[in-house]
Amino acid sequence: MRRLVDVLTTTLAVLSALAMALMMLHVTADVAGKYLLRAPIPGTAEVVANYYMIAAVFLPLAWVEARSQPIVVDLFYTMAPAAGRRAMDLLGTVLTIAFYGVLAWLSWGSALAAWRIGEIVEGTWKVVVWPAKFLLPLGLAIACIVLMPRLADLLLGRDPGPRTEPA
Write the pLDDT tens digit of every residue in 138-162.
Answer: 999 999 999 999 999 999 988 777 6
Query: How far is it, in rounded angstroms, from Cα 20 to Cα 15?
Result: 9
Write the pLDDT tens digit of every residue in 57-89.
Answer: 999 999 999 988 887 778 888 899 989 989 999
Identify the three-state secondary structure at position 15: helix
pTM of the predicted structure, to 2 decimals:
0.86
Q: DSSP readout, 71-129?
A: ----TTGGGS-HHHHHHHHHHHHHHHHHHHHHHHHHHHHHHHHHHHHT-EEESSSEEE-
Write the pLDDT tens digit of every residue in 17-37.
Answer: 999 999 999 999 999 999 999
Please report, for the chain, the start and end positions of each structural domain, with discontinuous segments joined by +: 2-155
Q: Are 68 and 164 in contact (CB under 8 A)?
A: yes
